[in-house]
Amino acid sequence: MKNINIDEDLLRVNLQDRANEKEKAALVFWMSESSENKELFVRMTELWSSASNTEVFEQIDLELDWKRIQMKRKKKTPIMKYGLQYAAVVLICFGLSFLYLYNTTPGFGKLSKVQTAESKDKVELADGSQIQLNVNSKLIYPNHFGDNKRLVKLKGEAFFNIKRDTSKPFIIESGKTLIKVLGTSFNIRNITGNQTLVSVNTGVVSFKVKNNGQEIILKKGQVGLFKDNQLTLLNKPNRNCDSWRTGSLSFKNTPFIQVLEDIERLYKVKFKNENKKLENLKLTIDFNNYDLDKVLKQLELLIQANIEKKEQVIIIK
C-alpha cells in the first residue's frame, strides 16, 4: 500500500472544481499511487456532493464549514508520519460525514422541523417572522438565517407573516415552486408536488416555477395557481383561501359546488348531493366562526332542501 495522505487544500480545490492544471495533475498522480487512494477520493467526492446538494437549501456555505473542520498539519518525524497521515484522512472523511448530517438533517445542526398531524401549530423564526401551519403540514427551516437570504421549505399548508428585510429576501420552496417576498403576509397551499396555490393578504409576492423560470407577481387580494406545470393568475379567486386559519367562510354569488367544497375543507366532512337541481345554484352567505351544526341549519334554510348528517358524511336531499 502506498502513501494515502493528500494535502487537504489540494483535495478541497479539486472537490470544489476550482483546481488549476498543476493541482489537477497532482491529484491524478496521488490517485495513481494506489487503488486505496483512488477509492478514498471516490468516497470523499460522494460525501462532498451530498453535502453540496441538500434537499432543503440550494446553497450552503461549505467553505466556512470546511474551515471549521480543517486540520492544522505540522511536520512530523518519519516514524510517526504514516500513522498521522492516515489519521488525517480518516478525520477528513468523518468531518465530511458530519458536515453532511449537520447541513441536511433537521434537528441535528442547522435545521429545525415542525410537522403537524391532526392539530395546527405555530412557529416564530429567528428573524421574527411568524408562521401558522395547518394540519398535516411540514416546515423545515434554519435555526439562523445566512447573510443573503431566508430560505425555508413547506409541504402542506401554512400562513406566513414575514418580517420585512429588504437586504435579505424570504424564499419558500413549496413543491415545484418558489415563493419570494421581502416582507408581507400570504397563504400557501401545496396540495401535491404538482399543485400549489398562493393567496396574498398584504404586500407583493413573486411566485415562480423552479425548473423553467415562469413567474407571476401577486399583489394584495390576488391568488396564483401552479398546476400542470403552468402558473395562472386566477380571475375570480376563492375568498376562503385561508379559512382554516380564520375559521370563517364568506360567499358572494358563489357556485353551490364551490360552497360545499369550502365547507368540506374547513370542517373535514364530505357532502353527498342527491338533489341535482341545486348544482346550478349560486349562494351569498357568511359563516363567522360557526360550528358545523349551525352552518348546516343555515344552509338548509337557504337552499330549501333537507340535510342529513351521518357521521362525517352529509347528505343533501
Q: State the chain's mean pLDDT as an integer.
A: 79
Report the percentage of the chain scoring pLDDT > 90: 49
Report the percentage of the chain scoring pLDDT > 70: 74
CATH of domain 111-233: 2.60.120.1440
| Predicted local distance difference test score (pLDDT) of residue 171 | 94
| Predicted local distance difference test score (pLDDT) of residue 211 | 84
| Predicted local distance difference test score (pLDDT) of residue 76 | 44
| CB 100, CB 47: distance < 8 Å | yes
Which phi-psi region, left, alpha or beta, contains residue 29 (left: φ > 0; alpha: ψ -120 to 50)? alpha
| CB 231, CB 214: distance < 8 Å | yes
Distance of alpha carbon 194 from alpha carbon 244, whole angstroms: 22
3-state secondary structure of 90: helix
Beta bridge partners of 227: 195, 230
| CB 184, CB 218: distance < 8 Å | no
Q: Which of 311, 276, 271 is nearest to 299 (CA)?
A: 271
Q: Give the 3-state secondary structure percentages of the chain, helix then strand then coil, rounded to 5.
A: 35, 30, 35
Question: What's 315's DSSP letter?
Answer: E
Q: Is the pLDDT of residue 259 over 80?
A: yes
DSSP conformation letters of 277-309: GGTT-EEEEEEES--HHHHHHHHHHHHT--EEE
| CB 140, CB 150: distance < 8 Å | no
| Predicted local distance difference test score (pLDDT) of residue 276 | 87
| CB 180, CB 149: distance < 8 Å | no
Give the contacts of 197 (CB within 8 A, at least 6 positions apart). 187, 188, 189, 191, 223, 224, 225, 226, 241
CATH of domain 247-316: 3.55.50.30
CA atoms within 13 A on the CB side of 3: 11
Greater model confidence, 146 or 138: 138
Rg (CA), the chain: 28
C-alpha cell at 209: 416555477
Q: CATH 2.60.120.1440 residue ranges in the chain?
A: 111-233
| Predicted local distance difference test score (pLDDT) of residue 294 | 94
Q: CATH 3.55.50.30 residue ranges in the chain?
A: 247-316
Residue pLDDT, tens place only, 59-70:
444 444 444 444
